[in-house]
Amino acid sequence: TAPGREGRAMIRAGAGVLTELRTQDSAALRRWINDARTTRFNAPWRPVAPSAHEAWFESVGRDPAKVALAIRAAPDGPALGVVQLLDIHPVHRSAQLTIRIGDEADRGKGYGVDALTGALDFAWRDLNLRRVWLHVFADNDRAIRAYARAGFAREGLLRGSAWIDGAWRDEIVMAVLRPDPPRQT
């Protein structure tokens, strides 16, 4: 991480940055989680009440097993998405990754791959993780390509594992292992 403007911490992520979630991000995050079409890319949808969202937002940062980072084009810009490391396990040195680019207009511009790369660098360097994994719907080709570009490899298939929008969907498990450090000669 590197200090940004106003002393804020940020992680360079290609052309963009990853930062802490800020109070002004809350409304966008609530809008994204309540967008059924977007949510169904990676989870079953159900409406999230304002009080439940506020409780979640207030709890971000308190749980050492979770890290949530806003994806931004610029350090002072609005959040374009969020990337999270969940279930951070200190013994196994592993975590699950989730990512969402909130608005369709911001997808397909490289923010996701850059955010994945920045989050993995953070996971290796700052959290000392060894393995980061995720699951993705088998028919989400755009996400699968982005994960592969960031270094994730397919590990398995969970057949009929998710009931989404009235149908059973398969999920692919993908993971990336921390690269071995270069040998000192």
147 is an active site residue = yes
Catalytic residue among 85, 147, 169, 176: 147
Phi, psi of 136 (to 5 degrees): -145, 145
**Strand (E) positions, 32-141?**
67-72, 79-89, 94-101, 131-137
The answer to whether 36 touches 45, Cβ cutoff 8 Å, is yes
33-41, long-range: CB < 8 A, 24+ apart = 38/100, 38/102, 38/104, 40/164, 40/165, 41/100, 41/137, 41/140, 41/143
Can you tell me the distance from the alpha carbon of 150 to that of 54, in angstroms, rounded to the nearest whole number?
A: 32
Catalytic positions, written as ranges: 147
